[in-house]
Structure 1
Amino acid sequence: MIAVQHAVDPLSVPSDAPEHCPGTESELAGKTEACAGCANQDICASGQTKGPDPALPFVRERMSNVKRKVLVLSGKGGVGKSTFTAQLGWAFSADDSVQTGIMDVDICGPSIPTILGIASEQVHASSSGWSPVYVQDNLGVMSVGFMLPSSKDAIMWRGPKKNGLISQFLKDVDWGDLDYLLVDTPPGTSDEHLSIVQYLKESGIDGAVVITTPQEVALQDVRREIDFCRKVGIRVLGVVENMSGFVCPSCKTESQIFKPSTGGAKRMAAEMGVDYLGAVPLDPRIGKSADYGVSFLDEYPDSPASAAYMDIIDKIKQILGE
């Protein structure tokens, strides 16, 4: 088992870095009270740590075997982003000839292992790097959730340590040849997002799928996420409206839970000039499937939500040119 406190790039954050290390890229590097006594204080203060990240060549080499790299984003938490990532992974890997990987960079809230039914697994290291945990032969996963002693353990890291772990996920994980690498991100536009863009910029990001729910309080944050994508040069593949109405499992009748008071995702997508991929209704069995770590698409293929998922996934494939 890999101890989480050592799962950082020593070139980004030294293993003996102080708890409140400002990070080597900060203007305060080596100059704060927290830096007192750190072995690297003089180097950081001199600015010698700035420059091209030494991990970039290794990331490029690893990512050269990955055909498509897709981010799943949302400015708002709780909109079903990780659940959508899992369904996307299961749908892609339904074709035995397609190799799919899911990288969970939601460092403080890693839910992908639970949703995929592999929460009890551990990461193993070999001479070729870290081995992903496999849900099935053609669906591998990497998440910090595999590295925690307990699912109750909180991860209290500042940006530099998060960035170091993401760097290791990209340069040290032996993904092999992948058709798709899906990156599940936390809410917002912060450290994890900037790190992914920085490390994958040269090897290319094929695009981002942005997830939202119908209500305006979610759409506000999603507009910011789309703006983030534009500022860092990420193509927005489209917007998905999740939890769009409620499907009764018995009578299959749909009713609105989150009312789209400002027109919902479809109107927002039109206003922002991005594609609207579709809407997924809220089926309570989606949550049940996530808790039990099984594919909702396989368990409930007759649900309107499954039909919506497959329609959206087909559109994503078409946009990617598959």
Structure 2
Amino acid sequence: MSAEERRLDVLRAIVEDYVATQEPVGSRALVERHQLGVSSATIRNDMAALEDDGLIAQPHTSAGRVPTDKGYRLFVDRLSSVKALSGPERRAIETFLTGAVDVDDVVQRSVKVLAQLTNQVAIVQYPSLTRSTVRHVEVVALENARVLLVVITSSGRVEQRIVEIERTLGDDLLSDLRGRLVGATVGRRIPEASLRLAEVIDTFAPADRPIVTSVVTTLTHVFSNERSDERVAVGGTANLARFGGDFDGAIRPVLEALEEHVVLLKLLGEATIDPTVRIGTETGNDSLTGAAVVSSAYGSQDQVLATLGTLGPTRMDYPATMAAVGAVARYVGRILADG
């Protein structure tokens, strides 16, 4: 084993011990708790080298060392694998989420289960309508010259609108309108579907165009007005109290940051299907320099719907948190795809 590999092992041991104990880690503790295969003198030399590299630091006058943001970053980057969730944890996620009745319920349940699994603050972005495709469009004739318009998107969202029209819709026109709306929109992303709707009106006879225009206009409004990708659900803020001195007593700025949805969306960032970790200053928020955010997109590789994640102290169990965030994201994506 090279000196660099051994120092990475020492750094890994310091991170794991500090996360577990919240106490600065000394060389004696490393010798007692970890089978590093070298003398305490070698470990002290390795710790000195890690400190020179800015990967660990000595808080106050303590004899032990704690990881720096740079140290956590290297630890996360060198992770060979994340902790696998236990069977009961996986079953708990699946059972809890599969009981959801609609998209709002999926989001709220996701927030709750993620906060419980990680003991951190959970953040879930609602599925983005603009990134979704149209799964189904239905037009149902009602009494008194009205129709019911139903839209289902690939994100699982169901929208219903009642449209007032100038006269009762006949069966032939109803069937024709339904078929042309389906042909113009189903399987296409919302922005493209909106553009194609405008072309539908002129395909009908002049006498039918006022009715068609009313329906198409309402459908266009459904597509354009639902900015669900700007909505964020937050849960587990009470877990902040558990972190104690991890934020140097500055809990209020963290709470204030969590109240701003624009901040939350920036924290989640453009996450990928694989969990992304932002540590300290990487969050881009001065109020969260003592925090880390683990986020993941949900949906599929071909169609990302939105993001979810957790916020906790930089002194977090990164492998376990990444596993929980990744697992919940996969289940949410699967549920919405099957919905």
The TM-score bracket by the shorter chain reads under 0.3
Normalized per residue, the structure richer in helix is: 2
TM-score of the aligned structures, taking structure 2 as reference length: 0.23
Q: Which has the larger radius of gyration?
A: 2
